[in-house]
């Protein structure tokens, strides 16, 4: 029976190249507890092949705007902290879907409101179509109140 070290054959350079990340990113992920490596007899890092999928899942989640802390928390729900399989990935993606949809809606509203008042309370626009006289919108909340209202309607 093979031990973990015998299964850990990929060098840090090979993993970085295959995953499209820098070696420093792999070291960072390892430092944060997102991936694991083993040391060979020459004290060089070695990775099991399943780290390729794990790094790819991390990258995909990051592209969706999921924080590394949230990714780590989600990966920790897997039995024995294993690399996500297809079913696991669907569960992880599903858990992030609503958050992603809300962020997309927010960004669309932000894009569509870039030229106008967003209700931030700055009182600096001379020609604001939704002029916030005396920052009356402050009573409704903090930040860009008008923009946030648009997002909550969805």
**Rounded CA separation 29/91 (Å):** 22
Classify domain 4-96 at the CATH topology level: Multidrug-efflux Transporter Regulator; Chain: A; Domain 2 (1.10.1660)
Other CB atoms within 10 A of residue 29 CB: 23
Q: Which residue has the tokens 């008008």?
A: 146
pLDDT at 99 over 80: yes
Q: Is the pLDDT of residue 153 over 60?
A: no
pLDDT tens by residue, 31-89: 999 999 988 889 999 999 999 999 998 998 998 889 999 999 988 888 887 888 888 88
pTM passes above 0.95 = no
* CA-closest candidate to residue 4, choices 84, 89, 82: 82
pLDDT at 6: 58
Pairwise CA distance, residues 82 & 80, whole Å: 5
List the domain boundaries for the chain: 4-96, 113-154
Lowest mean pLDDT among 45-54, 102-111, 143-152: 143-152
For the chain, the DSSP string reads ---HHHH--EEHHHHHHHHT--HHHHHHHHHTTSS--EE-TTS-EEE-TTHHHHHHHHHHHHHTT--HHHHHHHHTTSGGGPPP-HHHHHHHHHHHHHHHHHHHHHHHHHHHTTTS----S----TT-TT--GGGGGGGG-SSSHHHHHHHHH-
């Amino acid at each position: 029976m093979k031990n973990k070290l015998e299964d850990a054959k990929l060098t840090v350079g090979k993993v970085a190249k295959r995953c499209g990340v820098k070696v420093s990113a792999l070291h960072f992920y390892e430092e944060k507890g997102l991936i694991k490596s083993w040391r060979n007899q020459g004290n060089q890092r070695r990775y099991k092949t399943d780290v390729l999928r794990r790094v790819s899942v991390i990258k995909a989640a990051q592209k969706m705007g999921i924080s590394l802390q949230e990714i780590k928390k989600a990966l920790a729900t897997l039995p024995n902290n294993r690399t996500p399989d297809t079913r696991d990935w669907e569960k992880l993606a599903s858990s992030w879907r609503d958050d992603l949809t809300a962020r997309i809606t927010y960004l669309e509203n932000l894009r569509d409101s870039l030229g106008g008042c967003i209700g931030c309370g700055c009182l600096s626009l001379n020609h604001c179509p939704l002029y916030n006289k005396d920052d009356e919108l402050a009573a409704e909340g903090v930040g860009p109140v008008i923009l946030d209202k648009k997002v909550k309607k969805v």
